[in-house]
Amino acid sequence: MGMNMRTLFLGMLICGLCEPIMGAAPRKPVDVPFQKNYVPSWASDHIKFINGGSQVRLVLDKYSGTGFQSRGSYLFGHFSMKIKMVGGDSAGIVTAFYLSSQTTEHDEIDFEFLGNRTGQPYILQTNVFTGGKGDREQRIYLWFDPTKHYHSYSVLWNMYQIVFFVDEVPIRIFKNSKDLGVRFPFNQPMKIYSSLWNADDWATRGGLDKTDWTKAPFVASYTSFHVDGCDASSNQSTQVCGTRGKRWWDQKAFQDLDGLQYRKLQWVRKKYTIYNYCTDRSRYLTVPPECARDKDI
Ligand SMILES: *[C@@H]1O[C@H](CO)[C@@H](O)[C@H](O)[C@H]1NC(C)=O
Ligand SMILES: *[C@@H]1O[C@H](CO)[C@@H](O)[C@H](O)[C@H]1NC(C)=O
């Protein structure tokens, strides 16, 4: 047997014993009231509580927007909330759901929902900052009207990947590409934030469509404030959270997407993607390393 044949034979043997890599959906979120995990961060008079906080409404008027943040700081986990976006004429308005370390060289994971004129589609813009560097925007249209019903928006974050989900559909994956020299968020705890504000200088058709204040107040509704993360509010706990293997999100099933999830992601790329920094040759003459490795992202 030649060397190549031997390697092939060995490879077949090993692969026969190998478990297939299985992906899985994150744990089913639990509906908990707002107060369990969150507090208002600014203009608390613009947040309305319903049913003892099982739902909240964020209100934007010409005086103020508003926002809230998680009580705890987290290093890895699964975070989700259900949101019903501002309906009708929402041009100029941005609703955001993001994780951020708020440090000098900050890590951040962003969902930003850009409103539009009545009947025109919202845009969902996502971004990932690592060590203070962002410039990784992706923009998609949604396959539903996000103002009609609640939909869940979530982030799965472990040492291997960051996945953005809309309902059960992974719309973006940012893999740990440390081996390619790309920083990955792994040691700075993040809080979870949401806010509603006026961004009519850029949000809708690049700032062409201005907020129509005669339609104010603008209201976004929230429910199901699920947080299942490693609490890293002290230095000691941060170290514990950084230790691999203990939590459900570290298991094999959550280290990569599975075949069905990749097909869903490809469906989003083919049918709904408007902009992807990975394919923007006028901006990046050389393909960013994390994009070059993986055609799906
Ligand atoms: C708003 O609608 C216009 C026209 O359909 C579209 O070009 C644009 O992408 C939509 N979204 C935003 C946020 O500008
Ligand atoms: C963590 O440690 C750093 C320096 O060792 C210190 O500046 C900081 O205050 C500590 N943070 C907490 C939450 O204990």
Domain ranges of the chain: 3-14+32-293
Is the Cβ–Cβ distance between 122 and 150 less than 8 Å?
no
Q: How far is the CA of 238 from the centre of ligand 1 (A)?
A: 42
pLDDT at 243: 85
Structure tokens at 170: 């992974």
Cα 158 from Cα 183, distance rounded (Å): 14
Could you tell me if the CB of 124 is within 6 A of ligand 1? no
- Ligand 2 pocket list (CB less than 6 A): 234-235
Q: Which of 235, 236, 239 has the most ligand 2 atoms within 8 A of CB, as the residue to mutate?
A: 235
Q: How many Cα atoms within 13 Å fall on the side-chain side of residue 155? A: 27
- Please say if 19 is a catalytic residue: no
Q: How far is the CA of 202 from the centre of ligand 2 (A)?
A: 38
Q: Which atom of ligand 2 is nearest to the CA of 236?
A: 14
Helix H or strand E segment including 3: helix 3-17
pLDDT at 7: 43
Cα 221 from Cα 237, distance rounded (Å): 33
Per-residue pLDDT of the chain (297 residues; tens, 9 = 90+): 344 444 444 444 443 343 444 578 888 888 899 999 999 999 999 999 999 999 999 999 999 999 999 999 999 999 999 999 999 999 999 999 999 999 999 999 999 999 999 999 999 999 999 999 999 999 999 999 999 999 999 999 999 999 999 999 999 999 999 999 999 999 999 999 999 999 999 999 999 999 999 999 999 999 999 999 999 988 888 888 988 677 999 999 999 999 999 999 999 999 999 999 999 999 999 999 999 988 777
Question: Would you call 234 exposed, middle or buried from its count of C-beta atoms within 10 A (0-12, 13-18, 19+)?
Answer: exposed
Cα 152 from Cα 67, distance rounded (Å): 18
Residue 202 neighbours by CB distance under 10 Å: 12
Pick the CATH number of 3-14+32-293 from 2.60.120.200, 3.40.50.970, 1.10.20.60, 3.40.50.300: 2.60.120.200
Omega of the bond leading into 217 within 30 degrees of 0 (cis)? yes
Q: How far is the CA of 235 from the centre of ligand 2 (A)?
A: 6
Could you tell me if the CB of 139 is within 6 A of ligand 1? no
Cα 184 from Cα 121, distance rounded (Å): 32
pLDDT at 22: 59
Q: What is the pTM of this model?
A: 0.90
Q: Which of 95, 111, 123 has the most ligand 1 atoms within 8 A of CB, as the residue to mutate?
A: 123
